[in-house]
């Protein structure tokens, strides 16, 4: 009752008088006496008093016990070799005891009574019959991973909104700018394109070096080596405006690009210099004479040390971001790692089966090095120079000409030659392809990345330079890049 002061119903039984015997049953008039059932099982008088004392039932309503008796009708006891029904030939004493217990708890008329179900529960049982399985793991493992959501299988939960799966980043499939680059050589062993920290692109064309300002699109002719020499490599210092130029005569020229003035010429190599790499004031040069020379531009000597180990032309050179390790690749299919003080390689990797020109250090993980092999190899391999271990290998299907890592995200881009001449953007470490870019009709032999890390420029023997937006901007950068701010179209770099 909601109101505790309401009078008792007229149908309530009268209170028990003290003269009543405690050993006698005093059921309400609506319940007939059935002493035979109890007497047939001969319960003790003590149990009889415990069960039947103060047992009164209102004729106006049905009284149910608060004891929970689970329903095992939906359980599959066969899974556990348990039978849900008494086995044949088993003693019926347990069944008799269950009948006695039900009678004692719910009254003599409850021996064959099944607890009723409310209309809502009855409808729910009819719509959703009990599952035949106790455990559902076997069934659920065949569902999709999305069905394992804690919100259920039907995904219809009021007030719960599932976040949509983030769409993969879209990389534009066409270059936003194309520059004509007449006389750009189709030579796998040269490195003729580099992009400075001041947003200036240096390109070696024949026996000349040209500078293209990415902010103003202004083209400047830096130098002309004459008819007896040609440009084999260019490399910007990490900071400042100094540009190193490797020549076919085995010399290195240092130029101040801001004033278009040559500062110094250094010798030491006998043959062409196809690879250059800066480390602060230290400049490394790799030559066709199989050697690598370490040059300190502050010293009077042309070089301070000579690194020997390659058996063929050195065509790839890269310093790590902490300037502690130098990686070199050669036409002898070898990848070597040197430290700041060694004249012999401290690590040697011989897994590639073709020339190793493509080399890139990860800016995200110390000691992670990527290298790419030529036409007979076609693989990009990853190395941990800290533990001296080979991490993984990816067969790209084409000659690997260049590699560069994004500074903004854990991705890298590779350029290729025979036979597809494609540019591929990879997500590391899964090495899933984000984009495959095509457009060059010759091997994509040259690659450089912009100082903001968003744009790459590629060059090929088809005498074009193509600019691609492949990487996202850094999280801290809110302004748009100045790169590509000039009008789109095709212009000539010389």
Radius of gyration of the chain (CA): 43
Q: Dihedral of the CA atoms 294, 296, 301, 303 (nearest 10)?
A: 10
For 369-379, b where at least 16 C-beta lie within 10 A, e where not — what string?
bbbbbbbebbb
Question: For residue 463, what pLDDT is reported?
Answer: 96
Predicted confidence at residue 151, as pLDDT, reads 40
Give residue 52's pLDDT band: very low, low, confident or very high (50, 70, 90): low
Q: How many CB atoms lie within 10 A of CB 251?
A: 19
How far is the C-alpha of 221 from the C-alpha of 202, rounded, in Å? Answer: 10
Say how many Å lie between the first and final Cα of the chain, rounded. 99
Among 150-154, 272-276, 288-292, the range scoring the smallest mean pLDDT is 150-154
Give φ, ψ of 465 to 5 degrees.
-115, 130
The pLDDT of residue 31 is: 45
Q: Backbone dihedral region of 454: left (phi > 0), alpha (psi from -120 to 50 degrees) or beta?
A: alpha
Q: How confident is the model at residue 297 (pLDDT cuts 50, 70, 90)?
A: very high
- Would residue 89 be called left, alpha or beta, if left means φ above 0 and alpha means ψ between -120 and 50 degrees? left
pLDDT in tens, 145-178: 444 444 444 444 444 445 556 677 889 999 999 9
Sign for the CA dihedral angle at 7, 13, 19, 25 comes to negative
pLDDT greater at residue 130 or residue 334: 334
Q: How many angstroms separate the CA atoms of 484 and 175, rounded?
A: 10
Measured distance CA(406)–CA(473) in Å, rounded: 10
CA dihedral over 101, 104, 110, 115, signed as positive or negative: negative
As to burial, measured by CB atoms within 10 angstroms (0-12 exposed, 13-18 middle, 19+ buried), residue 472 is: middle
Answer with the residue of higher pLDDT: 476 or 432. 432
Rounded to an integer, the average pLDDT of 39-55 is 49
Which domains does the chain carry?
A: 178-479 (2.130.10.10)
Distance separating alpha carbons of residues 447 and 461, to the nearest angstrom: 13
Q: Which two tokens stand for residue 202?
A: 């240096």
Query: If pLDDT is split at 50, 70 and 90, which confidence band does 116 have?
Result: low
* Residue 1: band (very low, low, confident or very high) from pLDDT cuts 50, 70, 90: very low
- % pLDDT > 90, the chain: 60
Q: In this predicted structure, what is the pLDDT of residue 176?
A: 96
Residue with the bigger pLDDT between 421 and 482: it is: 421
Give residue 110's pLDDT. Answer: 60
Looking at residues 421-426, what average pLDDT do you find?
97
136 against 334, higher pLDDT: 334
At 97 the pLDDT is 79
Mean pLDDT within 106-134: 55
* pLDDT for the residue numbered 9: 41
pLDDT of 113 over the 90 cut: no
Which range has the top average pLDDT, 13-22, 431-440, 472-481? 431-440
pLDDT of residue 106: 73
Q: 93 falls in which pLDDT band (50, 70, 90)?
A: low
Please report the DSSP string for 141-199 in residue order.
Answer: TTS-GGGG-TT-SS---TT--PPPPPPPPP--SS-SEEEE-TT----TT-B-EEE-TTS
Asked which of 69-78, 145-154, 309-318, 347-356 is least confident by mean pLDDT, the reply is 145-154
pLDDT at 101: 79
DSSP letters of 63-93? ----------TT--GGGGT--SSPPTT--TH
- Phi, psi of 476, rounded to the nearest 5 degrees: -80, -5
Tens digits of residue pLDDT in 229-262: 999 999 999 988 999 999 999 999 999 999 999 9
* Burial of residue 189, with CB atoms counted within 10 A of its CB: 0-12 exposed, 13-18 middle, 19 or more buried: buried
Q: Supply the DSSP symbol for 233.
A: E
In angstroms, what CA-CA distances link 440 with 212, 272, 444, 460? 20, 27, 7, 7
pLDDT for 7-43, tens place per residue?
434 444 444 444 444 444 444 444 444 444 434 444 4
Structure tokens belonging to residue 364 = 């995200």
């Amino acid at each position: 009752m909601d109101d505790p002061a309401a009078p008792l119903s007229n149908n309530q039984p009268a209170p028990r008088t003290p003269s009543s015997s405690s050993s006698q049953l005093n059921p309400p008039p609506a319940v007939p006496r059935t002493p035979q059932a109890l007497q047939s099982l001969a319960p003790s008088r003590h149990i009889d008093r415990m069960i039947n004392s103060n047992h009164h039932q209102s004729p106006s309503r049905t009284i149910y016990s608060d004891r929970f008796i689970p329903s095992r009708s939906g359980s599959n006891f066969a899974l556990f070799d348990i039978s849900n029904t008494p086995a044949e030939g088993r003693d019926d004493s347990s069944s008799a005891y269950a009948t006695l217990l039900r009678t004692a708890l719910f009254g003599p008329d409850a021996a064959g009574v099944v607890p009723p179900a409310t209309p809502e529960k009855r409808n729910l049982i009819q719509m959703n019959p009990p599952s035949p399985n106790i455990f559902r793991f076997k069934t659920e493992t065949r569902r999709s991973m999305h069905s394992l959501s804690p919100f259920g299988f039907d995904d219809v939960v009021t007030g719960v909104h599932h976040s949509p799966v983030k769409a993969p980043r879209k990389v534009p499939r066409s270059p936003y700018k194309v520059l004509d680059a007449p006389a750009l050589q189709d030579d796998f062993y040269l490195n003729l394109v580099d992009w400075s920290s001041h947003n200036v692109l240096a390109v070696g064309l024949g026996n000349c070096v040209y500078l293209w300002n990415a902010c103003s699109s202004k083209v400047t002719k830096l130098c002309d080596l004459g008819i007896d020499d040609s440009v084999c490599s260019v490399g910007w210092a990490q900071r400042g405006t100094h540009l190193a130029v490797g020549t076919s005569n085995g010399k290195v020229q240092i130029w101040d690009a801001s004033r278009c003035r040559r500062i110094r010429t250094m010798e030491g190599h006998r043959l062409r210099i196809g690879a250059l790499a800066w480390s602060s004031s230290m400049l490394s040069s790799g030559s066709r004479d199989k050697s690598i020379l370490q040059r300190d531009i502050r010293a009077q000597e042309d070089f301070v040390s000579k690194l020997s180990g390659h058996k063929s032309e050195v065509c790839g050179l890269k310093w790590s971001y902490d300037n502690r390790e130098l990686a070199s690749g050669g036409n002898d299919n070898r990848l070597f790692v040197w430290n700041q003080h060694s004249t012999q390689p401290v690590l040697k990797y011989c897994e590639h089966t073709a020339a190793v020109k493509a080399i890139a250090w990860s800016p995200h993980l110390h000691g992670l090095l990527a290298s790419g092999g030529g036409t007979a190899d076609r693989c990009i391999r990853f190395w941990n120079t800290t533990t001296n271990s080979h991490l993984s290998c990816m067969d790209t299907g084409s000659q690997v000409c260049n590699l560069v890592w994004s500074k903004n995200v854990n991705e890298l881009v590779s350029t290729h030659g025979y036979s597809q001449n494609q540019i591929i953007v990879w997500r590391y470490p899964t090495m899933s392809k984000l984009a495959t870019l095509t457009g060059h009709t010759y091997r994509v032999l040259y690659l450089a990345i912009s100082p903001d890390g968003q744009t790459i420029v590629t060059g090929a023997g088809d005498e074009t330079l193509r600019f691609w937006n492949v990487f996202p901007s850094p999280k801290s950068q809110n302004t748009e890049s100045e790169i590509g701010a000039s009008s789109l179209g095709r212009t000539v770099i010389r």
